[in-house]
Chain A
Amino acid sequence: MGTKGQGRTTSADKNSDLSQVPLEDVLESRAEEYLQLCWEIPTESEKHAVATKLYAACRRLSAAVKEKDAATAVLEIASNLMACEEMAILQMKTNSKELSFIDSVGLSERQRSSLKGSVARISAEIDRGRVYMAGENASGDEMLRSLGIQAFVPLWQNRKTKGAIVFFNLLPQRNGFEPGDRELLDLFSVYAGPCLFNA
């Protein structure tokens, strides 16, 4: 539906196109596309539910660019549209040996310590530039699973990875991720980095 790479266009490729037009305009334009999609597909369809969420996420990120509160927006979007309230936004220092917390919500001491104690491995995962979502059975995700990470979104700026959004547990009413969550994670992968780092 939206931002998936699937061997054609990667998050990095799409991210690199963002310097030509003001970011808030790009996001408003994407929101309009999702709104149009909502009109075209029946409300009973799962795609409709996903398009509705992506519309709201794009509009919220667009407003966040103007108001310079992108970190708050990212956490709020994930909380409200994914029902995840344990997450962190990390920024990688240029030497890849340090990570700082841009913002976080709901993390236990254990989760926080596990992130702080795994800087090298998380930096390597950021460098891989790949969105991870639990349940997709991709190989090479053992490290993320061992830390209890349920989803991992690398953040890009100008074709370079700069950090990540790390998601731990979903709230109890969620029985794991659904395909629509993947679309939202992919959206974050393309747009959250510029929203956070270009401000």
Chain B
Amino acid sequence: MNRSAGSLGRWIVLYGLLLLVLLWTLVPVFWMVLSSFKSLADVLSTTPVIAFEPTLGNYVSLDAGGNSLLSYFRNSMLAAGISTIIATTLGIFAGYGLARVNFRGKRHLAFWIISTRMAPIAAVILPLYVGFTFLHLINTIWGLIIAYLTFNLPFAIWIMHAFFADLPKAMEEAAMVDGASKFQTFWRVALPLTAPGIVTTAILCLVFSWNDYVFAATFSGPGSQTLPVAASALITQTGIDWGQLTAIGTVVALPMIVVGLAVRRYLVKGLTLGAVTGE
């Protein structure tokens, strides 16, 4: 076998395998988006339909009758958004402190933070349920915000700590020599340098809480139903409207895919809790 035939063969195998991986990954997503634009007859065809007359009917019906897509969207946005803002803001300050100040017991503190982030949701939900019942937080947006803080806050502290720890100390020291106060050094030097880290932290917090189902399904009621709960509520005793389901699935998935891929460069660091630095 000569060289060019060998590399052509290699090229075919490589891209052939890549095509298989892409099919496995994308066919479900593609099929979900496609089905969301189908009429009920096309969705319920017993042989798959690829060519069809597209319709927005499924999206329209999600905001009609007993459904209120806009209020589900608002609830999701408020619960995920507010918990993200609180977690990221508190996380920036605590993360900076953890990265720059040495004190006794720091290792134990770090361990407590990471254990909190990793606590199984099925366990956390029990004391929260009882607490929320007493505090009348069941079926409120604030209940969900607090529930999301149980994983977003330790995550934000930990990951902001990792981003600040990566900054070279020299720049901050130079600012201090020039007479900047500790707070000015933090505000004017360290904070702008970690801007990508802050954005990544916020986006990951948003994705984690936007995608939550277990907390929302347990704590929310008619007044605070989020998109994932509304999606699963479309499955009723009398039947499942797959057209509407794929439409709401698309509404839940697309925004998170877009914002998630926007910070792809920093995802590795964020998702490994700072253990691995990417590209």
A and B, one complex?
Answer: no
